[in-house]
């Protein structure tokens, strides 16, 4: 399955750390015995019959399981959850005697169904287990559950399913671990009005569909191949479909299902999905063996998509593309997810992990190939170039001590779900279920689960390393060469099809390919990769010339951790290659040397190094590590970048240098002046990828600079507490007359909002800080505007014909910088465009709406909110939800245009109205009558958090006040962790720290493991921000002042824009 990235940058998963950090043990026998099924009996065949009426509250089913005892036993143990069982019957193939004696269904999170037998089963003699049951439809979008959508004649319901990772047990009693593969026969009984009834395979030719039980139509499906329970899927709906009958690009029936009326948005999925399957099949040299492929757009869906074999499901926004409405970013995401799920048909479905401890064998390959194999079909999207940005983002989350290795043992359901992202159970905590034929009051997160939660806290929190894994596998591809890598994967799939694997099988296949090619490696594949899969984190190598004229370098390695006070003993075998300024060729990415894991430092000979001006390690940033250099080399790199020769350096290495330099400086390994100097080259840079790398670095700078004392000091006064166009924050002159400025500032606050003034705010004591921080913002604004000016002029607001695919993303970065920092040419065009919001190009809608809402009033909010309510298009909803968070919490535009401030009452009324609007927006997260789907509600808070320091404060208070309600209201798997992760990227001050401490105290007994990890990450990041400020603020300020302090350029225009307002304020004083 895959996580969804609606606005990729907004939702990236961020570091989450536990409270302590011991190494995980690699096999916990007690937990294994407690949670894993034994191999005493194994299933070989399931016959599942389901009665699924979407208009009912529950469903009934019956299952016959053919089991094979491997030992003599008088007990059969399997999984069942959340169902009422009846008529259990156990018989041998030889006679019909019922061997059933009794059963128990666990009330804890083992979900074990133990069936005791009246006589001992004979080993290797097959038996049949029959069970009837009824069950409620699943909540939280797991198990078999109901989704709804609106039509002109009212709401329509459908039944769909999400069984990965541990919810097949909620659909039918089964051996619910991936290693227990079996053949599935499925029969669905559904009311006649639901015409689109699907499962993994085609409807059986000899059976077809026919009335059977009164009120139901019977749909019998072909038997599957041997497969894991988590890949079984169902759909009972009145959906329509598009298929490839007329234009079969792919060799088997390929359909896209969606609710009626939106099928005109299915063309891209149909076309790209087929082309991508053709390309993957060719790459794998192994056919997709099912006889059909359905792709279904489900209105309510927990994940981005799910790779059920033959019946792949997507959230609507992750499958449907409407030209002119869907953004380039969303369309790319659709392509990426389709490719991701297609890849799983081999990695996951044919070859499955032995247990969820090895989730990376599925998700790591899917994470890489979603880009790698999209490139096969749409190379103009530059997905593998963009993958480098993905990797740089992963570096952030992987740079904490507590991160789990790729191979990480998991046992409990909450641990298992954690390998996919977070823990999903909070909503169920208070629900009561009927189980085991008797009415048992049960909380799903039982005492046992809570104890496993605290166990988690002690051991190490669960983290996603899926993206990490993709980056490690990309490195593997380059150090093996693409040919050997592919050959290894072909062997791996061929030799393990229909089976289950551990990493050992992968290493064996890759080693075979290496041996066949006589390819030279320093040691075995297993030895190389084990360090990367069983240690968390990644290394930074430092490369220094041995001497100024030497032809060799010293390379040291250590684990890279964001917190410079931490260290770890981990070491890796690291493939390295390099480019010298005298021989610039970045094309060959195979290793020229290996840094061993055994020595702290290694010397590498590089002929003619003494003739070079500069050198770069890690061509095209294919290795999963950062690179630091001696200062002379950094200076030389800065010189070449800041010259007309800058494009002699490969575009991906330009992105690497920006990302590494800023992060190494942040980490205390490099003087901040180096990345700042380096970044000045961006004024020449026209490619998206280095700009995207820089954008991430700039965002961090803004966070830490806004976390300054100045911001806290401004905070009591709402008119100034906005992060841009805030008169005092952007006024350069106050530094010339500090005291007068502060006096004016204080007086203004007094007049407008007496009650916000607190006695602790003594300007005379904090004046220096306030002044310094307000100035640094001006300089920073100059810096960013100057760098982006050429591209602002070139890219503008309008798409041009034949522009590059990624230009849409690039334009948003440039417009974002300019509109946010008050470039009047940007803000005024945005305001003009807002006059006709419907006609704005989809790609810039979020930016323009955001800009408009920042300077707008309640009316602007209402216009966009009504657009959200009126549309049923999911990608449009996504754009609007992301923009609405930018709504200003204090209404400056009203303030500037009405005859203000002498009329405090009027002002207060307007403030009140807008605040009400704003908080009613956040209320949509928890309201019983919310207009926003559960799966999208967290986006509201994430967008408010990301909209700037002012909105962040309001969102933080809202989250602290309403956390339990938020837990109940947002999508269980990732909703709250997405919100908390957004906070961890943005909170930075001591006040934030206090609030988070209180937050933790208040809710610690209610947090899931994922939430605990996220809160720990928030604390760690706040600490890092303060550390940053203590250490780097003055360096950055000095550099900015020296380079931008005397500019009288475009910012002056901004200041002029607000000057009348300021004067009017001062007049009041
Ligand atoms: Zn996946």
Any idea what the CATH number is for the domain that residue 624 is in?
2.60.40.1910
Residues 320-341: pLDDT tens digits? 999 888 999 999 999 999 999 9
Confidence class for position 466, pLDDT limits 50, 70, 90: low
The first and second tokens of residue 191, run together, are: 């009311």
* Residue 825, domain member (yes or no): no
Average pLDDT over residues 737-763: 40
Contact indicator for 190, 216 with CB cutoff of 8 Å: yes
Look at residues 238, 257, 292 and tell me which one is the last residue of a structural domain.
238
Q: How confident is the model at residue 1 (pLDDT cuts 50, 70, 90)?
A: low
Using the 3D structure, point to which of 238, 258, 282 is the last residue of a domain: 238
Residue 351 DSSP code: B
507 and 379 both lie in a single domain: yes
- Answer whether 135's CB lies under 8 Å from 58's CB: yes
The pair of structure tokens assigned to 397 is: 């989350």
Give the tens place of pLDDT for each residue, 689-724. Answer: 999 999 999 988 888 876 544 333 333 233 333 333
Mean pLDDT, the chain, rounded, equals 82
**Residue of 177, 341, 712, 953 marked active site:** 341
Structure tokens at 437: 């034929």
d(C-alpha 653, C-alpha 655), whole Å: 5
- Ligand 1 center to residue 934 CA distance, Å? 22
Q: Distances from the Cα of 503 to the Cαs of 333, 484, 522, in angstroms?
A: 29, 18, 20
> Which pLDDT value is given to residue 800?
92
Nearest to 232 by CA among 305, 149, 152, 308: 308
Highest mean pLDDT among 559-573, 963-977, 1010-1024: 559-573
CB 161 within 8 A of CB 302: no
Last residue of a domain, one of 238, 261, 279: 238
Q: Is the pLDDT of residue 775 over 70?
A: no
Among 52-56, 634-638, 770-774, which stretch is predicted with the lowest mean pLDDT? 770-774
Same domain, 112 and 170: yes
| 111 annotated ligand-binding residue | no
pLDDT-based confidence at residue 935 (cuts at 50, 70, 90): confident
pLDDT in tens, 1011-1040: 888 888 888 888 888 888 888 888 887 888
Is residue 365 domain-shared with residue 402, that is, in the same domain? yes
CA-nearest of 260, 225, 697 to 497 is 225
Q: What is the CATH number of the domain that holds 132?
A: 2.60.40.1730
356 plus 400 within the same structural domain? yes
Query: Is residue 447 included in any domain, yes or no?
Result: no
What is the secondary structure of 35-98 as a DSSP string? HSPPSSEEEEEEEEEEE--TTSSEEEEEEEEEEEESS-EEEEEEE--S-EEEEEEEEESS----
Asked if 224 and 282 sit in the same domain, the reply is no
* Position 943 pLDDT exceeds 90: no
Q: Looking at residue 769, what is its pLDDT?
A: 44
468 and 548 share one domain: no
Q: What pLDDT is stored for residue 206 in this prediction?
A: 67
**Does 597 share its domain with 485?**
no
**pLDDT, tens digit, 9 for 90 and up, residues 272-285:** 999 999 999 999 99
Average pLDDT over residues 634-663: 98
∠ CA(565), CA(568), CA(570), 5° rounding? 155
Asked if pLDDT for residue 113 goes beyond 60, the answer is yes
Measured between alpha carbons, how far is residue 604 from residues 542, 545, 594, 932 in Å? 12, 10, 9, 58
Domains contained in the chain, number: 4
Cα–ligand 1 centroid distance for 651 (angstroms) = 29
Whole-angstrom distance, CA of residue 478 vs CA of residue 480: 5
For residues 339 and 289, what is the distance between their CA atoms, to the nearest angstrom? 17
439 compared with 343, residue with greater pLDDT: 343
Sequential DSSP letters for 850-900: HHHHHH--HHHHHHHHHHHHH---HHHHHHHHHHHTT--SS-HHHHHHSS-
Residues 132 and 222 in one domain: yes
- Whether 295 maps to a domain, the answer reads yes
Q: Which structure tokens are listed for 513? A: 């390919």
What CA–CA distances, in Å, run from 94 to 122, 125, 126, 128, 131?
12, 9, 9, 10, 19
Q: Which residue shows structure tokens 């030895």?
A: 527
Pull the structure tokens for residue 59.
């469903």
Residue 502, domain member (yes or no): yes
Q: Lowest-pLDDT range, 120-129, 179-188, 657-666, 953-962?
A: 953-962
The Cα–Cα gap between 303 and 37 comes to 27
CATH code for the domain in which residue 269 is found: 1.10.390.10
Spatial contact of 972 and 426, defined as CB atoms under 8 Å apart? yes
Residue 973's pLDDT is: 61
Check residue 592 and give its pLDDT: 97
Q: How far is the CA of 893 from the centre of ligand 1 (A)?
A: 46
Q: What pLDDT is recorded for position 972?
A: 64
Same domain? For 378 and 469 the reply is: yes
The secondary element (H helix, E strand) that includes residue 602 is strand 601-605
Same structural domain, 267 and 372: no
Contacts of 419 (CB under 8 A, 6+ apart): 165, 356, 359, 408, 410, 462, 464
> Does residue 165 have a cis bond before it (omega within 30 degrees)?
yes
**Kind of pairing, strands 41-51 and 58-69?**
antiparallel
How far is residue 253 from each of residues 312, 339, 345, measured CA to CA in Å? Answer: 14, 18, 16
Annotated active-site residue 341? The verdict is yes
Q: Is residue 893 part of a domain?
A: no
Task: Report the pLDDT averaged over residues 953-975.
Answer: 84
Q: Is 79 annotated among the ligand-binding residues?
A: no
Q: Is residue 1062 part of a domain?
A: no
CA-to-CA dists, residue 331 to 447, 680, 801, angstroms: 44, 32, 18
Cα 235 to Cα 1000: distance, rounded to the nearest angstrom: 41
**Residue 344 is labelled as binding a ligand:** yes
539 C-alpha to center of ligand 1: Å? 26
| Intra-chain end-to-end CA distance of the chain, in Å | 60
The pLDDT tens digits for 860-897 are 788 888 888 888 777 778 888 888 888 766 543 333 33
Q: Please give the residue range of the domain that contains residue 377.
A: 352-425+456-535
Give the integer Cα–Cα distance in Å for 320 and 316. Answer: 6
Check if the beta carbon of residue 657 is closer than 8 Å to that of residue 779: no
**CA distances from residue 1012 to 403, 461, 502, 1015 in whole angstroms, order as listed:** 14, 8, 30, 5
**Mean pLDDT, residues 915-933:** 79
The predicted pLDDT at position 929 comes to 81
Predicted confidence (pLDDT) per residue in 422-438, tens digit: 322 222 222 222 222 22
Note whether residue 231 is domain-resident: yes
Which residues, at least 6 apart from 223, have a Cβ–Cβ distance to it below 8 Å? Answer: 183, 184, 185, 201
Q: What is the pLDDT of residue 915?
A: 60
Give tens-digit pLDDT for 156-192: 999 999 999 999 999 999 999 999 999 999 999 999 9
If one compares 37 and 412, the residue with the highest pLDDT of the two is 37
Helix (H, G, I), strand (E, B) or coil at 211: strand
Q: What is the DSSP letter of 352?
A: E
Query: Is residue 80 domain-resident?
Result: yes
The CA-based angle 762-764-765, given to 5 degrees, is: 70
1: CA distance to ligand 1 center in Å? Answer: 3
Q: Residue 1043 has what pLDDT?
A: 84
Kindly indicate the confidence band of residue 248, based on its pLDDT and cuts at 50, 70 and 90: very high
Same domain, 462 and 365: yes
Give the whole-angstrom CA distance, residue 397 versus residue 530: 21
The verdict on 416 and 500 lying in the same domain is yes
């Amino acid at each position: 399955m895959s996580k969804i990235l609606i606005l990729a940058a907004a939702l990236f998963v961020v570091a989450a750390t536990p409270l302590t950090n011991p190494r995980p043990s690699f096999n916990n026998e007690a937990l294994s015995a407690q949670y894993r099924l034994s191999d005493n009996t194994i299933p070989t065949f399931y016959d599942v019959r389901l009665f699924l009426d979407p208009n009912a509250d529950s469903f009934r089913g019956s299952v016959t399981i053919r089991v094979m005892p491997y030992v003599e036993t008088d007990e059969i143990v399997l999984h069942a959850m959340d169902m009422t069982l009846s008529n259990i019957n156990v018989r041998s193939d030889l006679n019909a005697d019922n061997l059933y004696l009794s059963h128990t269904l666990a009330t804890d999170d083992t979900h074990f169904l133990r069936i005791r037998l009246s006589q001992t089963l004979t080993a290797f003699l097959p038996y049949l287990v029959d069970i009837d049951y009824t069950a409620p439809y699943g909540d939280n979008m797991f198990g078999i559950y109901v989704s709804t959508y609106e039509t002109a004649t009212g709401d329509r319901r459908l039944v769909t399913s999400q069984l990965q990772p541990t919810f097949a047990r909620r659909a039918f009693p089964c051996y619910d671990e991936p290693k227990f593969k079996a053949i599935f026969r499925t029969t669905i009984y559904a009311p006649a009005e639901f015409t689109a009834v699907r499962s993994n395979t085609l409807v059986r030719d000899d059976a077809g569909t026919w009335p059977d039980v009164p009120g139901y139509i019977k749909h019998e499906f072909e038997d599957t191949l041997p497969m894991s329970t988590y890949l079984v899927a169902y759909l009972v709906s009145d959906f329509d479909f598009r298929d490839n009958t007329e234009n079969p690009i792919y060799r088997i029936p390929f359909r896209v299902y969606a609710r009626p009326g939106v099928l005109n948005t299915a063309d891209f999925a149909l076309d790209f999905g087929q082309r991508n399957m053709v390309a993957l099949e060719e790459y794998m040299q192994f056919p997709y063996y099912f006889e059909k492929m359905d792709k279904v757009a489900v209105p309510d869906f927990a994940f981005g998509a799910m790779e059920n074999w033959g019946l792949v499901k997507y959230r609507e926004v992750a499958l449907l593309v409407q030209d002119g409405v869907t953004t380039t970013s969303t369309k790319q995401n659709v392509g990426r997810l389709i490719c991701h799920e297609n890849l799983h048909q081999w990695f996951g479905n044919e070859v499955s992990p032995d247990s969820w401890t090895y989730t990376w064998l599925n998700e790591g390959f899917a994470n890489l190939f979603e880009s790698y194999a999209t490139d096969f079909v749409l190379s103009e999207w530059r997905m593998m170039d963009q993958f480098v940005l993905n990797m740089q983002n992963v570096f952030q989350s992987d740079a904490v001590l507590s991160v789990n290795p790729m191979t990480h043992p998991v046992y409990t359901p909450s641990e298992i779900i954690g390998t996919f992202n977070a823990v999903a159970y909070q909503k169920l905590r208070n629900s009561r279920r009927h189980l085991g034929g008797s009415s048992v009051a049960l909380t799903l997160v039982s005492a046992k689960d809570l104890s496993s939660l605290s166990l988690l806290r002690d051991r190490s929190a669960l983290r996603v390393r899926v993206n990490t894994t993709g980056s490690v596998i990309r490195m593997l591809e380059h150090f093996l060469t693409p040919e050997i890598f592919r050959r290894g994967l072909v062997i791996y799939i061929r030799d393990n099809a229909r089976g289950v694997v551990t990493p050992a099988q992968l290493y064996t296949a890759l080693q075979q390919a290496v041996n066949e090619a006589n390819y030279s490696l320093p040691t075995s594949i297993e030895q190389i990769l084990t360090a990367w899969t069983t240690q968390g984190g990644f290394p930074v190598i430092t490369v220094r010339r041995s001497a100024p004229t030497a032809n060799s370098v010293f390379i040291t390695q250590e684990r890279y951790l964001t917190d410079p006070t931490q260290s770890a003993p981990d070491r890796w075998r690291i493939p390295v290659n390099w480019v010298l300024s005298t021989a610039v060729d970045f094309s060959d990415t195979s290793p020229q040397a290996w840094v061993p894991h055994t020595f702290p430092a290694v010397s590498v000979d590089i002929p003619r190094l003494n003739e070079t001006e500069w050198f770069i390690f890690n061509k095209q940033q294919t290795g999963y590590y950062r690179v630091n250099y001696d200062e002379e080399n950094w200076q030389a790199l800065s010189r070449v970048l800041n010259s007309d020769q800058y494009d002699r350096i490969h575009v991906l290495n330009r992105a690497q240098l920006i990302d590494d330099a800023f992060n190494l400086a942040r980490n205390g390994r490099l003087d901040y002046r180096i990345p700042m100097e380096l970044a000045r080259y961006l004024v020449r840079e026209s490619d998206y990828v280095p700009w995207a790398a820089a954008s991430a670095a700039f965002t961090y700078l803004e966070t830490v600079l806004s976390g300054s004392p100045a911001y806290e000091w401004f905070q009591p006064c709402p008119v100034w507490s906005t992060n841009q166009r805030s008169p005092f924050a952007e006024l350069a002159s106050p530094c010339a007359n500090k005291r007068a400025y502060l006096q004016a500032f204080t007086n203004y606050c007094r007049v407008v909002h007496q009650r916000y003034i607190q006695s602790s705010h003594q300007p005379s004591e904090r004046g220096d800080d306030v002044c310094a921080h307000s100035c640094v913002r001006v300089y920073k604004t100059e810096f960013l505007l100057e760098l982006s000016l050429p591209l602002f002029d070139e890219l503008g607001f309008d798409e041009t014909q034949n522009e590059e695919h990624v230009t849409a993303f690039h334009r948003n970065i440039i417009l974002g910088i300019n509109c946010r920092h008050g470039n009047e040419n940007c803000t005024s065009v945005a305001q003009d465009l807002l006059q006709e919001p419907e006609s704005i190009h989809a790609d810039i809608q979020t930016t323009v709406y955001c800009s408009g809402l920042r300077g707008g009033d309640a009316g602007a909010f209402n216009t966009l909110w009504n657009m959200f309510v009126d549309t049923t298009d999911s990608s449009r909803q996504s754009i609007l939800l992301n923009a609405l968070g930018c709504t200003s919490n204090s209404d400056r535009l009203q303030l500037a245009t009405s005859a203000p401030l002498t009329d405090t009452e009027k002002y207060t009324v307007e403030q009140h109205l807008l605040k009400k609007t704003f908080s009613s927006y956040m209320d949509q997260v928890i309201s019983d009558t919310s207009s926003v789907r559960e799966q999208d509600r967290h986006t509201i808070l994430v967008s408010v958090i990301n909209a700037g320091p002012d909105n962040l404060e309001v969102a933080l208070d809202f989250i602290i006040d309403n956390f339990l309600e938020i837990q109940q209201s947002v999508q269980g798997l990732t909703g709250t962790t997405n919100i908390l992760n957004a906070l961890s990227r943005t909170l930075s001050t001591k006040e934030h720290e206090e609030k988070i401490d209180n937050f933790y105290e208040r809710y610690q007994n209610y947090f899931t493991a994922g939430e605990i990890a996220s809160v720990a990450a928030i604390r760690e990041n706040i600490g890092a921000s303060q550390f940053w400020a203590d250490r780097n603020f003055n360096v950055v300020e000095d550099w900015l002042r020296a380079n931008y302090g005397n500019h009288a350029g475009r910012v002056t225009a901004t200041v002029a824009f607000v000057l009348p307002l300021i004067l009017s304020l001062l007049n009041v004083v």
